[in-house]
Amino acid sequence: MSDLGAGFGYLMKGQRWVARHGRWFGFGLLPGLVTLVVYAGALIGLGYGADDLVGWATPFADDWSSPWQGLLRTGLTALVFVFGLFLAVITFTAVTLLVGQPFYESLSEEVDRSEGGEVPESGLPLWRELWISARDSVRILLRVALYGIILFACGFIPVVGQTVVPAIGFCVSGYFLAEELTAVALQRRGMVLKDRLVLLRGRRLLVLGFGVPLVLSFLIPFVAVFLMPGAVAGATLLARDLVDPDPDGRPGTADSGDAPASRAWSA
């Protein structure tokens, strides 16, 4: 099986795992539901307040005649809401993982326990885990934003900007989404962000096979909430095979000889 197919297989294994463990599926839904309610409230508030915000930001248009004032402010109001929606989409997973840190840690540990072998624990207090997760999420979002700016600029290239660029955008989003999800299990194994990125770069196709279908499914409203528990479970299974030896004693990262061993979290 190709790495792309294998990556998708981990996503399906995770969904099957939570389907067999209904209590953990319900447990893993809670952070996503809480985050969804908060985001929905914020977007509703933005929808009601965007026109006032635009009116406040464009006092120079107060004396414009119709229809120019309406066209300007209606267009800007739509852009403000679309930008808010875009921010909600790219930050939803990071915020859900942060809010649900204790939930997903427990879910990931249970997956490890059910699969046998060692069940790593970070040994850190909750506040420390939350700080590290938040810090790493900001670093990842900055990387995503940088790629987003570059891809946005490339979007103006005729033909390529409407075909190749969107495909690359989904790959970038899928790659970093997979990083955030596998971080739950890899952090418990003592791997810092730099090491995790090196590890995942060594198996890009595997990571893309896991992350890209998940990103595409997240485009459907509310699907992200219901897929998150299985996504965390699948990412844990993926992380196990990336860093743990298989039954023949070969490391799961055989394709990436430069992948570093796990080490303690940095300050």
pLDDT in tens, 69-109: 777 778 778 777 777 776 777 678 778 888 888 888 889 99
Average pLDDT score over the chain: 80
pLDDT at 238 over 70: yes
The packing angle between helices 160-188 and 204-218, to 10°, is 110
How many C-beta atoms surround the C-beta of residue 6 within 10 A? Answer: 16
**pLDDT number for residue 246:** 54
The pTM score is 0.73
pLDDT digits (tens, 9 = 90+) for 130-146: 788 778 878 887 888 88
Task: Return d(Cα 206, Cα 213) in angstroms, integer.
Answer: 12
**pLDDT number for residue 256:** 38
